[in-house]
């Protein structure tokens, strides 16, 4: 029997071109909920979100990365921050942010939406923070671009499991 969660994980691909169709409010809420339910060390839930839907703000955000075309094309972008005041361990908090972001990507896939994790914009993380008038305690982790995919022809590669498993005991 097929397992829906495993299928969602395996079929998720980064989507970088979107139609102009809006993302329904309940779908956006479900994506954010999926992020909210990610695991975190000591359940500190250090992630914070800024939802960007206005074309003006998206355009400003787009100007801070070489992947600006993706941001402009996406119906919604979610900027994911770590609240340093909620953090307790640099590595574990970054791992929690990664789990949160991946949860959102998988939720988008499960809802028939497309999404991509944008990290290159971190080179301008202070400017992104200023764009949303956030305090210095907010540290950008990624921008998730979200929308209805132009197509589903994305392909990707992974190393064979045999190269990744270092041992079995």
Ligand X SMILES: Cc1cc2nc3c(=O)[nH]c(=O)nc-3n(C[C@H](O)[C@H](O)[C@H](O)COP(=O)(O)O)c2cc1C
Positions touching ligand X (CB under 6 A) are: 13-14, 16, 67, 116-120, 154, 156
Residue closer to ligand X, measured from CB, 14 or 45: 14
Residue closer to ligand X, measured from CB, 119 or 135: 119
Residue closer to ligand X, measured from CB, 25 or 91: 91
The residue with its CB nearest to ligand X is: 119
- Give least dist CB 150 to ligand X, A: 14
Q: Which residue bears the tokens 């209805």?
A: 148
Residue closer to ligand X, measured from CB, 49 or 67: 67
DSSP letter for each residue of the chain: ---HHHHHHHH--B---B-SPPPPHHHHHHHHHHHHTS--GGG---EEEEEE--HHHHHHHHTTSTTHHHHHH-SEEEEEEEEGGG---HHHHHHHHHHHHHHHHHHHHHTT-EEEEE-GGGGGHHHHHHHTT--TTEEEEEEEEEE-BS-S--------HHHH-----
- Give least dist CB 63 to ligand X, A: 15
- Give least dist CB 86 to ligand X, A: 21
- Give least dist CB 70 to ligand X, A: 6
């Amino acid at each position: 029997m097929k397992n829906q969660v495993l299928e969602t994980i395996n079929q998720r691909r980064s989507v970088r071109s979107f139609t102009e169709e809006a993302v329904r409010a309940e779908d956006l809420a479900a994506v954010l909920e999926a992020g909210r339910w990610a695991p975190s060390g000591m359940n500190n839930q250090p992630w914070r979100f800024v939802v960007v839907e206005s074309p003006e703000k998206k355009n400003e955000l787009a100007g801070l990365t070489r992947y600006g075309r993706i941001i402009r094309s996406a119906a919604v972008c979610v900027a994911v921050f770590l609240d340093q005041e909620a953090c307790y361990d640099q590595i574990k908090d970054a791992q929690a942010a990664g789990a949160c972001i991946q949860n959102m990507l998988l939720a988008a896939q499960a809802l028939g939406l497309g999404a991509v994790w944008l990290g290159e914009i971190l080179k301008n993380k202070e400017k992104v923070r200023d764009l949303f008038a956030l305090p210095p305690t907010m540290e950008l982790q990624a921008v998730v671009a979200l929308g209805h995919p132009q197509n589903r022809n994305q392909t990707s590669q992974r190393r064979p499991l045999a190269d990744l498993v270092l041992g079995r005991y």
